[in-house]
Structure 1
Amino acid sequence: MTDVIGIDLGGTGIKAGRFHVDGSCIEERKIATPQPSTPMAVAEAIAELANDLNADKKCKAMGIGIPGPVDGTARIARVAINLSGWHDVPLADLVEKQTGLSVTLNNDANCAGLGEAWLGAGRNHQNLLLITLGTGVGGAIILNGKLFMGHYGAAGELGLITLNPDGPPCNSGNNGSFEQYCSINGIKRLSGREPAQLGRLATKGDPEAIAHWEQYGALLGAGLTSLIYIFTPEMVIIGGGISASSDFFLPATRAEIKKRVLASSRIDLQLVTAELGNRAGMVGAAKLALQKL
């Protein structure tokens, strides 16, 4: 039986795992991302991890999730957020030369979506969306059981859709994007507090904090409305650090979706939280490798 390796590359850490085709993880590793995180230093660190996990040479392929977009061939990292000097880096080539494995790349949010669809909250479902709520708002689209990449692999920037045309400016060049309201900075702008602090206050029954989460949930529902109309998914999975307070905002999100979305476009729609936590990207990267095989 051929095994595969999944790598989740982040700005501060690199997670790696070796997986059987059934999704069982045989072994895991985690190291700090080299600093400075130049392309060559990172490629060497990933190769060393992979070679360690593949000491018996029974793995044939590896998937790598990166914090940024990849090209249409899934071999070149166009840019990588929080990594230094990354622009059109041929990461797949660099790692293949040092490992002998067949390598494919994808955005980390896409990998997280694949992971949740394979072994997490979305298993047994064919059409789903993953929304990651954190420093930004990311996402992944799974259609008919496969990751939807769009033209040149650039689809799935779900946080950059417009929520309010006159809203605050976004790094993307947009104004009032979904991300500007539902990210950590969006919560801070609306409430003046960090999400974790707001969560602690809500847990203690603080009425102002609970009201802020209800407002947040309604904004999230408004953003999801556009996506539900386009994709009519079976399930929307909510992940990322902010999802830790989902008990306080998902009821308002569900109410907003029910108010805004025609019943025919939300038949049997489930809105759930992610199950794999920070392992989702690594699991999804392994799924990428299996699909490559």
Structure 2
Amino acid sequence: MKQVLGIDLGGTAIKLGQFESDGTCLRSCSIPTPQPAIPEAVLAAIVEAIEQLDPNREALAIGVGMPGPTDAAGRIARIAINLPDWVDVPLADWLEAKTGRPTIAANDANCAGLGEAWLGAGRSFRNFILLTLGTGVGGAIMLNGELFIGHNGAAGELGLISLDANGTLCNSGNRGSLEQHLSIGAIRRRTGKAPDELGQLARSGDPEALSFWRSYGRDLGVGLTSLVYVLTPEAIVIGGGVSASAEFFLPSAIAEIEQRVMPTSREGLRILRAELGNRAGMVGAAKLALDRYCTEELSSTR
């Protein structure tokens, strides 16, 4: 059975897994992201981790999830707004030169969407949206069973849609983006507390925490309304660390969508928690490599 490496590059940690073509994870590890996370330092850390994870070079190819868009070919990390000096970095070329294995890169939320489509909450749907609620707010769009990346590879930045034209400035240059209302940083700014603390307070019945999560859900629902009207998906999958408190904010998000979206645009719509947790990006990066480099047709040419 063919094997690949799936890598999820984050601002604080880099997760790596070695996967068989049926999705079985043979082994995995997590290493701290070098600080500052400049490209050269990150590349060196990834190469060292690959050598430790797969010393016998059993994996045929590498997939990498990036915290930002890549070009349509999956070769170049175009920008990572929360990592220093990541502008048009030829990541695939660099890793291929260092490891001798074909490499493809994609936005980390797109990888999470692929992972959920393959082995998680999206596997029963051909058309769904993934929204990841964490340090940032990312997204992925699956259309007719395929990841939609647009004509230049940068589609699916769902967290950067506008919610408030005069709101908080985003690193993207937008103001009042969905990310500036729903990210971990936005939650801290709004409440002075971390999402997990607010989740614990809500579970204990704290009225202020419960009120916050209802408000959070309404903002989420407003943002999702635009996406539902444009894409009319079968399902919306909610992932990322903040989704641990989904029981407190999804009801108000759903109510907002039901109020704002015509029934013809939301008929049969399911809103679900993601199933793969923080493994989704790693799993999806592996799927990316399998699809690009390890089909029977392509493998026979190597």
Give the TM-score taking structure 2 as reference length. 0.91
Structure 2 partner of 1:169: 169
Structure 2 partner of 1:152: 152
CA RMSD of aligned residues (A): 1.8
* 1:236 to partner: Cα distance: 0.6
Structure 2 partner of 1:70: 70
CA–CA distance in structure 2, aligned partners of residues 162 and 82 of structure 1: 19
Q: 1:125 to 1:202 in 2, by over 3 A?
A: same
Structure 1 partner of 2:246: 246
CA–CA distance in structure 1, aligned partners of residues 71 and 28 of structure 2: 28
Q: Deviations over 1:73-121 (max 9, x none)?
A: 2111122344443222111111111211110001111111111111111
CA–CA distance in structure 1, aligned partners of residues 283 and 204 of structure 2: 35
Q: Deviations over 1:112-156 (max 9, x none)?
A: 111111111111211111111122211111111111111211111
Q: Unaligned 5+ residue runs, structure 2? A: 294-302
CA–CA distance in structure 2, aligned partners of residues 8 and 202 of structure 1: 31
Structure 2 partner of 1:122: 122
CA–CA distance in structure 2, aligned partners of residues 174 and 76 of structure 1: 23
Structure 1 partner of 2:222: 222
Paired residue type of 1:208:
E
Structure 2 partner of 1:39: 39
CA–CA distance in structure 2, aligned partners of residues 86 and 181 of structure 1: 25
Corresponding residue pairs, total: 293
Paired residue type of 1:170:
C
Give the TM-score taking structure 1 as reference length. 0.93
Identical pairs, percent = 59
Moved more, 221-230 or 74-83: 74-83
Structure 2 partner of 1:19: 19
Q: Deviations over 1:192-238 (max 9, x none)?
A: 43322322221111122211211111111111000011111111111
* Secondary structure at the counterpart of residue 69 of structure 1: coil
Q: Unaligned 5+ residue runs, structure 1? A: none
Runs of at least 4 residues of structure 1 off by over 4 A?
none
CA–CA distance in structure 1, aligned partners of residues 189 and 98 of structure 2: 46
Q: Deviations over 1:142-177 (max 9, x none)?
A: 111111111211111101111222333333222222
Q: 1:11·1:81 contact (CA, 8 Å) conserved in 2?
A: no
